[in-house]
Amino acid sequence: MSNETLFIDSVSSESVLIFFQIGRIFTFLCTIFGLFGNISLIFVLYHTASSRRVTYELLIICITVFNSIRLLSAIYYYVIHANFIPLNYKTHAIYIIISRYSHFVANWLKVLVAIERFVTIKYWVVSRHQYRKLNQQKKRRIIILIFIILVCGLLNHHPNFIHGRFISVNIDPRRLLIVPKVNLNFYYGENIFNGALFTIISYTFIDDAIPISILFISNGCLLYSLHHLPSITRQKINESIWILTFLTFFSIFLIPRSILVLFHLYVDRKYVDDTKLAIAFHLLQGK
């Protein structure tokens, strides 16, 4: 190996180490402030609960809970790196399941918030007696839909529970990433399991691209609807829609990391720059 190659490798390793440390610090800070913000939001919603907004408040609380779980999963990832928890298939599977499941649930609950806001705008102008009746019906339906999302999340990510999908799991010393060795001969039913296709459909589209696209369209429609409401009504519902808009724009940062998972596991390393891939992973770890 030439001196030039050795020099390039050493620079790459140093760059990855720097961004690994930056990503770890950034993740811990995001988790601390994120958990503090989520707990504060739950506390405020609990003490300002309104019978007219009970379904909206329930959904926001559920979103904050699953966002908190996702933040804690990032801490768990670095705890494994620090060897406080031994790295094996089980500990890695726990990380994947907690991270991806909470990711799925939080994004689709945001879609449910958008739907709930549409229904609220539609029926805001009805009489007080009718609104209370409709609100009770809406509450029951929202609870059922939350349960359906929780079940669908388990169905969507159930292959992550199957031990045979991976042969082993190790930390790549060059990229400083936890890298599971994929079992290319794993059978799902009568056919060989296509891990790359599962990652594209589940991680990229179902977890992120589809719900976030729906959210962007819904937010545009909701913001447009606000301008056609009476000023008093607009003031009452404006805050909740802007919270949803903030959550939507925050969610867009989750898409790149889902795409990186595909490169991380299934793209031949001769087509991927290890250093750039590792740096991108570490920078997006806390998102």
Intra-chain end-to-end CA distance of the chain, in Å: 38
Q: What is the pLDDT of residue 152?
A: 93
- CA 280 – CA 16 distance, rounded (Å): 10
Domains of the chain: 3-284 (1.20.1070.10)
- CA 116 – CA 110 distance, rounded (Å): 10
User: Among 66, 61, 69, which residue's Cα sits nearest to residue 42?
Assistant: 61
166: three-class secondary structure by DSSP: strand
Q: What is the pLDDT of residue 108?
A: 93
57, 116 Cβ separation under 8 angstroms: no
User: Among 179, 170, 165, which residue's Cα sits nearest to residue 281?
Assistant: 179
35, 68 Cβ separation under 8 angstroms: yes
- CA 285 – CA 110 distance, rounded (Å): 21
pLDDT per residue as tens, the chain (287 positions):
443 333 334 445 677 888 888 888 888 888 888 888 888 877 777 666 555 567 778 888 899 899 889 888 888 888 888 888 888 888 888 888 888 899 899 999 999 988 888 877 776 655 445 556 666 677 788 889 999 999 999 999 888 888 778 888 888 877 788 888 888 888 887 888 888 888 888 888 898 889 988 988 888 887 777 776 666 666 667 767 777 777 777 777 777 777 777 777 766 666 667 777 777 777 776 55
Exposure class string for 74-107: b at 16+ Cβ within 10 A, else e: bbbbbebbeeeeebeeeebbebbbbbbbbbbbbb
Q: What is the pLDDT of residue 6?
A: 35
Tally DSSP H helices, then E strands, for the chain.
9, 4
89, 166 Cβ separation under 8 angstroms: yes
pTM, to two decimals:
0.81
Q: What is the pLDDT of residue 208?
A: 87
192: three-class secondary structure by DSSP: strand
